[in-house]
Structure formats: C-alpha cells, structure tokens
Structure 1
Amino acid sequence: MSARRKSDSNRRQPAAGKHQERTPQPGPSKQPGARNKSTRQTVSKSAPKKGSRNATTAAEGGTTKKTRKSPTLSVEFIVATAIGLADRGGIHALSMRNLATELRVEAMSLYHHIPSRERLLDLMVDEVFGELGTPATDAQISWQEWLSVQSNRMRKVLLDHPWAVGLLDSRKNPGPATLQYQNHRLGRLRQAGFSMDLAAHTVAIQDSFVYGFVVQELALPFEGAVDIEQLQGFQDAMQAGDYPYLSEMVASVVSQRGYSFAREFEYGLKLIIEGLEMRFRN
C-alpha cells in the first residue's frame, strides 16, 4: 500500500527542469539606429532610387504617369494655327480634326471656342483683310499712287495665303477688319473726289485684276524669271509652225533674258490707273 502511494506521488512530481522558465540567450547587441533584415528588405523594395523619376515624383507628391502638355487655347491662337495649316496644305487640308491634331488637343476642345468650320473660315478671312489694312501714310499720297501701293500689297498678301483668293468675297458674316478695309477704300477714293459710282467701279476693277492675276501667277509652271529650259515643252509643241504668233511671242518676249510674268502686273495696273484718270477728269 505504501509502495503504491509512493509510485503515485512520483508520477505527480514534474520532471526536473521540464517547466522551468527559459533564460534568454544573449544575442548580438543592436547598434543605435540599426534595423533588422526584414525592415531593410521592405525599405529597399518600396523606396525609389535617389535621382530617379519616381523619386522626384514621390517627393513632389505627384503621379508617375507621363502626360502631354496641351497649349492654352484661345480664338486668336486657333485662327493663327489654322492659317498656317492652310498656307502649307491648302484650304482642303483644313478640317477641325486636322487642326486639333496640329494643336495637340481633342477636336471637341475647339468647339468651345469656335462653333464650326464655317465660323473658323470667317475669322481666317477677316485676319487676312487685317493684313491688307492701309497705313496712315495713305492720306499723304495721290490716289493714283495709293491705288498702286494698295494693289501691290493685295498681291503680296494673297501670294502668302493662296487659299484666301477664292474666299475673300465669299463670307456672309464679314468681320470688323473686312468692313474697315472696304470702308477705307471707298472713303479714300471719295475724299479724292470720286463719285460713289466711280469709286464702286474702281474697287471692283481692282479686286478683279489682282485676284485674277494672282490665280494665274500661282498656276504657272515656273516662278520668277523664266529659264529657256523651262520653255522646251512649249517650243517642242510648236515645232510644226502651226502657231506663228505664239512662236513669235516666245522668241521675242518670253525667252528674253530676265523675263518674268510679274512684269505684266505693273503694266496692267498702269492701264487701269490711266483709264480711271480719264474717267475721273470727265
């Protein structure tokens, strides 16, 4: 009996050291500010490299998405860009979509400033009439000299903007520069003593002559002084002698050194002024 109690007592005693508190083993001492390995790994993965685009963006609180900066749109800027596009590619190259591409914006952005292509053409034409504007010195010269200077200015501007030739008088909604230009021309002639009827004839003749000459000048297969080699095709076509007067003109006029079709502009303008002088005196 006593042996059994002793056996039970032995089972209830814990094994030596089984539930004893573990004494922590001394480890390597931490240096001030040191981080453990997992922390260093996390930092190395999340922090951008110094000097990188992400680092700069993160420092500025921005995003890493690269965006294309669009220009600030205004009616004046849109019209100027449209004129440049038409000067390079012609009026048929001008669409709201092509213009938007040129401006690096969405096409719908243009309609917030200009409601339609037709309205855009109105504004472009008015800008060209602004270039035709007359300087203050016009009042200090004779009407003959004024008409010559103004006609030459018209020709130069239209050669700079060939697309405008067929549009200048086509707009149903003229702008202020258009109206000012037309009013100034009539006023300049009226102040010189022209009747309103003769002044109206004069501006109509001036427009017809300058517009028509520019159209013909732009269509010629050569520019400036004519080179004899450029006339070879004409000469070959007239070898049979069936066109004696054309052959004479080519031989005695066009093939002469320094000939340029531009000379016909000054000659035609002189004839117009001489005819107007006769009408004005009568």
Structure 2
Amino acid sequence: MTYVVTLISDPNITPITSAVIEAVRNALENAGERTGDPDWLSEGRACDISFGSDVPGDNLRVVRSALNGAVIDAAIQTSDHRRKKLLVADMDSTIIQQECIDEIADFVGCRAEVSAITERAMRGELDFPEAVRARASMFAGLDSDALDRAYYERITLTPGAETLVRVMRDNGAVTALVSGGFTQFTGRVAERAGFDHHHGNELEITSGKLTGRAIEPINGGETKVELLNQYCRELGITPELALAVGDGANDIPMIEAAGLGVSFHGKPRVAAASDAQIQFGDLTALLYLQGYRDAEIYRW
C-alpha cells in the first residue's frame, strides 16, 4: 500500500530544509522502504514523501527519530481519499485559542476553580456532562451580558481557522463546529470562522441572569460522534471522507470515527487516539495533511 508522510512546520521557527527531507528519506529507506521524490506543498513549510509499507505505525516512529526533536509535525496516512468532504471541529482550544467557560468564570471570580475542572475534564478524568453542570452552577446570578463581554473582550480565533474552513468549503466540503461549550459562543465563532453549522450546549438565562444551569441534555463526546455520523449520512459519504479535529477527551469518539482524526495541540489521550498529531503548527496544517498546496490555499 502507498503511504504519504507529511512534514509540516512554521518556517519562521524551523523551516523544512533539504537536509531534513534527506534525513527522513534515508531513515525510511534504511528501514526497508522505497521513497518517492519530495513533493513540496509549501516551500520550507510542508512537504509530502511517499513510500510503500505494511507497517505505517512503525515508520512514524522512524520518521520522528530522524527529525531528532525538531519543531516539525509529522503524520502518515494512505495516499487515497486524502481530501475530505466533511470537517467536524471542536471549538475551545481548537478553533479558538481559549476555553470559553474559563473566560466566563473570570467575571464571577472563580476562574481557578473552573479552570481546574476544565483541565480534568479535557484529560478525561471527569464525566463531561457532570463537569459542565458543575461549572455552570458557579455562574448563578451572573448578568447575561457577561457572555457578550467574554466573547468580544477575550475570544480570538486560532491562526489558520478561517483559512481551513473557507478552503474546505470552497472545495465542496461541509463544515460543522461541534462543541461541548455554549451556543452563546458557538454561533458567533461559527459565523466568524465561516462554518456551515454549529452545535453546543446552552446556558439557561432567566430575566437577564444566568440560572446556574445548562439546558439538558448535555452534549458530550457521544453527541459529537453522533453528529459526525449524521452529517455523513446526509451527505451520502462514509466517515472515511470526514476530518475531525479537537484537543480534549470528549473529542476522542469523533476523532476515532473519522477517516482523518487530528489531535490539535491535544492532551496525551487524544494524541494517542488520533491519526495525526499537530503539536506545533496552526490550523492550516490540516489543509497540508489533505494535500492542499499553497496555490490552493487562500490567506486572509
């Protein structure tokens, strides 16, 4: 079977040089593989190297060893069906650079407590719906306009988010923001980044104040994979043609179900469950993983 190893870097930090390419090719060939010529997707930033193998997992270890700790992401996948028809993305710490619920907590003065629960939930140490309920309860009595302030004052898109979404849409993919966060944020983030659809939990608001409750049922990891499968059915495609990306434990079900499941600066459990791990690059890395070239990637 033909595989492709994709190397991706930030050229301002660690450009991919011909020496890096040769080191990776030599390592693969010393492991018994026959490699193709390097195919530059972005000069100094992203490069494909094809090879034939029956043990791609072992070869990823070989590639990472050849990189010798360089700040370069590497992923191996089959050469077939690289360009996906569905993008399902987590929001917090993936499409945006923050955890919305932690930013809300700042307005209540309980950020440390909320952040601790968030971190444990993202590592998979807590039941996700219970973690949502526990954190929402701390916001009882907060004016609802604090949600607006949190969004406008704190929330920023992750570099490459708009580019990822718009290039995939321009090439016929459907895009969905699927979050365990709150619809008071997902709608705005989805519009800003250009997603077709968004899904999230909802904070209950009465008379302009948060009640301290999230409206049931609480969306968690199983909801995310159910939505991925639902979109696949609606599009008439298999999950093989879906890309799922996230960073926390509640993203693992959809990451495992998708044809290309990506851990984006993710927790160790997420990285272990994914097909590709982006630890250094921005979200345009997901376009290079699909074989897009700079000439096809529009920058905003």
TM-score (ref. length: structure 1): 0.23
Name the one with the larger helix percent. Answer: 1
Structure showing greater radius of gyration is: 1
Name the one with the larger strand percent. Answer: 2
